[in-house]
Amino acid sequence: MFIINCPYCGERDQTEFSSGGEAHIVRPKQPTELSDDEWAEFLFMRKNIKGIQFERWNHSHGCRKWFNVVRDTSNDKIHAVYKMGEKPPINK
């Protein structure tokens, strides 16, 4: 259990949020030109780091907005929270 500082509503309990997986994955511009392996890489393959991870979260039981979180997966410490479309405040 941890507290997430929603960029719109403020500090709320983790149970109000749902995780949306890894952030900053860019959709390929020409999907039809990709091989099956490259497409699968984009679609399914996600990092599973022990340490600092960039994630998308949704405040599903609050304002229902998406935003990004920089979280240390080893101790659940949140290093930064920033809105969608903004640059990460910590170097990726």
Partner 1 sequence: MLNFETTVQDSKSYGDLTLSEMEPILKINLRSNKREFSTKIGKLLSIIPPIEANTSSSNEDYSILWLSPDEWLIYSSNKISYEKQNLLEENLFKNISNINQGSVTNVTDHWVMINLKGSKIYDLLSKSSPYDFKNFKMKKGSVAQTLLNHTDVILHNLDDNNLNLFVRRSFSEDLWLWINDSARFL
* Burial zone of 48 (CB within 10 Å; 0-12 exposed, 13-18 middle, 19+ buried): exposed
CA-to-CA distance for 55 and 43, rounded, in angstroms?
16
Indicate the residue among 17 and 53 with the shorter CB distance to partner 1: 17
Q: How far is the CB of 18 from partner 1 (least distance, A)?
A: 12
The reply to whether 56 sits near partner 1 by the rule CB under 8 A is no
Total of chain residues touching partner 1, rule CB under 8 A? 13
CA-to-CA distance for 58 and 41, rounded, in angstroms?
24
The reply to whether 84 sits near partner 1 by the rule CB under 8 A is no
CA-to-CA distance for 92 and 90, rounded, in angstroms?
6
Binding track, positions 16-45, relative to partner 1; x by CB under 8 A: x-----------------------------
Q: Which residues bind partner 1 (CB under 8 A)?
A: 8-13, 15-16, 61-65
